[in-house]
Amino acid sequence: MNINIIIILLASTLIAPINRIYKHYQNIANLHEENPTYSSPADLIFLGKRSILNQGPYELAGYRHRDCSGSIAIVRLYRNSEGSHILKSKIQGININHGVIFNGKVYDDFPQLIFTYEQIKIKFQSLIGLDVTPLTATAFAEKGSCNIAASLAGFYQNEKI
């Protein structure tokens, strides 16, 4: 085998994954910069936000209900269910409901098939020159009987964020 072929194969083996990782984090950083704040319905009081990891785009935002004894922590998901799993590991306890808000609906688990379909649809729309908004889902951990996640699902559906 020719040494040049071996060098080319080795270089491509190293460059391809680095390029994919760079593009992925660049896309997430762009989404994170475009949508740095969380808007919320008027019946929620913003408690604050903080990063839940040393690195990465996952930022946790906390809210409590103004009239009901309940609270919710949310994390935006940009690509897959990783942030949802991180949130589940960080916030555990009795009477805490976990789930994902996507396209105005509340899911118990990340709707990977639906999310992927919507990603493909948005990529196609951008290819033909249509204006598209970044696709995000929101993982949540909710405590109390206020049903805040359902309220946020309706709010996000109307706000188109």
Nearest to 147 by CA among 38, 43, 37: 43
Q: Are residues 53 and 94 in the same domain?
A: yes
Provide the residue type at 100 as one letter.
Answer: V
Q: Are residues 111 and 69 in the same domain?
A: yes
Helix spans in the chain (H): 3-34, 82-90, 112-127, 148-159
Q: Return the number of other C-beta atoms located less than 10 Å from residue 23's C-beta.
A: 10
**Predicted local distance difference test score (pLDDT) of residue 97:** 92
Q: Are residues 22 and 55 in the same domain?
A: no
Taking 70 as the threshold, does the pLDDT of residue 58 lie above it? yes
Q: Are residues 116 and 153 in the same domain?
A: yes
Distance of CA 154 to the CA centre of its chain: 17
β-pair partners for 105? 102
pLDDT band at 57 (very low <50, low <70, confident <90, very high): confident
Alpha carbons 154 and 161: distance in angstroms, whole number: 11
Q: Are residues 8 and 54 in the same domain?
A: no
pLDDT band at 159 (very low <50, low <70, confident <90, very high): low
Q: Are residues 27 and 49 in the same domain?
A: no
Q: Are residues 8 and 86 in the same domain?
A: no
**Predicted local distance difference test score (pLDDT) of residue 145:** 85
| Inter-residue contact 138 to 76 (CB < 8 Å) | yes
Alpha carbons 56 and 58: distance in angstroms, whole number: 6
pTM assigned to the model:
0.69
Q: Are residues 79 and 132 in the same domain?
A: yes
Instruction: Find where tokens 């935002």 sit.
Output: 61
Q: Angle at Cα 86 formed by Cα 45 and Cα 67, nearest 5°?
A: 20
Report helix, strand or coil for 44.
strand
Buried b / exposed e along 36-58 (16+ C-beta atoms within 10 A): eebebbeebeeeebeebeeeebb
Q: Domain span at residue 10? A: 1-34
Q: Are residues 138 and 69 in the same domain?
A: yes
Query: What sign results for the dihedral spanned by CA atoms 154, 24, 116, 123?
Result: positive
Number of domains in the chain: 2
Q: Are residues 40 and 23 in the same domain?
A: no
Taking 70 as the threshold, does the pLDDT of residue 75 lie above it? yes
Q: Are residues 84 and 119 in the same domain?
A: yes
Q: Are residues 65 and 131 in the same domain?
A: yes
**Predicted local distance difference test score (pLDDT) of residue 155:** 76
Span 95-153, pLDDT tens digits = 899 999 998 899 999 998 998 898 888 888 888 888 887 777 899 999 988 888 888 88
Span 10-19, pLDDT tens digits = 766 766 665 5
